[in-house]
């Protein structure tokens, strides 16, 4: 199982590299067309993509570091590097979101008299389609390899697609002599960036502080109680190392069992959690009922 996990991380690099290439090309296109066509919303979207390049590089670095095997300083491996990378990406995205909001709000009080050219709207729609395709690739890959970082990148991809659509709507609306609609859409762009950043930060910090879903934990417990010979579960805990789940559990067995039979029950508990829930490692402690 360990080698498969490392291969999955290697596959995850493809998603990060694809995102980096897409963001470089689309950011340059949006910033250029936004400046030429006089569109605040498209430039804000381009700035978002420019920063997403850095965030995607952070994800790529995290995936590479996670592949390092256990060593003297990291006996459990480097799996959490992927989660740290997701958190770094969220910080970068939040900083850009705040900057976009500041510039957009400022432009509301100092509006431009001319509406953006329609080429900026078509550019936004084109970029939205491209980012949606990148999202589909990354979300499929992220689910296949169960990668938190790739899923975060996919979430960012989808957010960028919607942001580009929103920018295009604002630009089209400004053609109807409503130039304020463009900076107003830029404000929405900034809020969407901040929301995506917050969602990624919340999930990453939850994992780094060893938070775990109680519903999933209860599912583990119910499954263990079905194992023949298990009389009860006195304690169960779980935490995440990157995308790997580690479970510590104390099961109660008959006090008349010898060590060999008790060990067999513990092995069955390990096997069922690994097979049914893809748990990476299970530590079972047996106590007499």
Residue range 226-242, pLDDT digits in tens: 999 999 999 999 988 87
Mean pLDDT to the nearest integer, 117-134: 91
Strand partners, 252: 232, 287
Q: What angle do CA 179, 180, 182 make, to 5 degrees?
A: 75
pTM: 0.77
Is residue 117 within 8 A of residue 184, CB to CB? The reply is no
| pLDDT for residue 2 | 57
| pLDDT for residue 89 | 81
Instruction: Give the separation between CA 83 and CA 4, rounded to whole angstroms.
Output: 19
| pLDDT for residue 188 | 83
Q: Helix axis angle, 40-66 relative to 2-36, nearest 10°?
A: 160
Whole-number Cα distances in Å, 54 to 34, 64, 129, 205, 209: 21, 15, 22, 20, 25
Which helix (H) or strand (E) segment is 81 a member of? helix 81-109
Per-residue pLDDT for 115 more than 70?
no
Per-residue pLDDT for 1 more than 90?
no
Is residue 158 within 8 A of residue 136, CB to CB? The reply is no
């Amino acid at each position: 199982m360990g080698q498969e996990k490392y291969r999955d991380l290697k596959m995850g690099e493809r998603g990060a590299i694809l995102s980096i290439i897409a963001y470089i090309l689309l950011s340059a296109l949006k910033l250029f067309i936004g400046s030429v066509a006089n569109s605040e919303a498209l430039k804000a979207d381009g700035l978002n993509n420019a920063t997403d390049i850095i965030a995607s590089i952070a994800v790529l670095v995290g995936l590479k570091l996670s592949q390092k095997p256990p060593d003297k300083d990291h006996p459990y491996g480097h799996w959490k590097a992927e989660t740290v990378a997701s958190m770094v990406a969220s910080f970068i995205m939040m900083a850009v979101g705040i900057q976009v909001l500041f510039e957009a709000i400022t432009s509301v009080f100092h509006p431009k008299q001319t509406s953006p050219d329609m080429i900026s709207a078509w550019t936004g729609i084109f970029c939205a389609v491209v980012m949606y395709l990148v999202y589909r690739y990354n979300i499929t890959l992220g689910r296949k390899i169960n990668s938190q970082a790739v899923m975060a990148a996919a979430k960012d991809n989808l957010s960028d697609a919607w942001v580009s659509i929103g920018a295009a709507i604002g630009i089209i609306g400004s053609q109807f002599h409503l130039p304020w609609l463009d900076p107003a859409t830029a404000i929405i762009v900034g809020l969407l960036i901040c929301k995506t950043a917050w969602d990624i930060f919340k999930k990453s910090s939850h994992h780094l502080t060893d938070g775990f879903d109680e519903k999933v934990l209860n599912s583990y417990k119910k499954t263990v109680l079905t194992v023949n010979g298990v009389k009860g579960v006195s304690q169960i805990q779980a935490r995440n190392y990157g995308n790997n789940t580690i479970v510590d559990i104390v099961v109660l067995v008959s006090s008349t069992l010898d060590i060999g039979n008790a060990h067999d029950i513990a092995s069955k508990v390990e096997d069922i959690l690994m097979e049914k829930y893809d748990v990476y490692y299970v530590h079972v402690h047996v106590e007499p009922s």
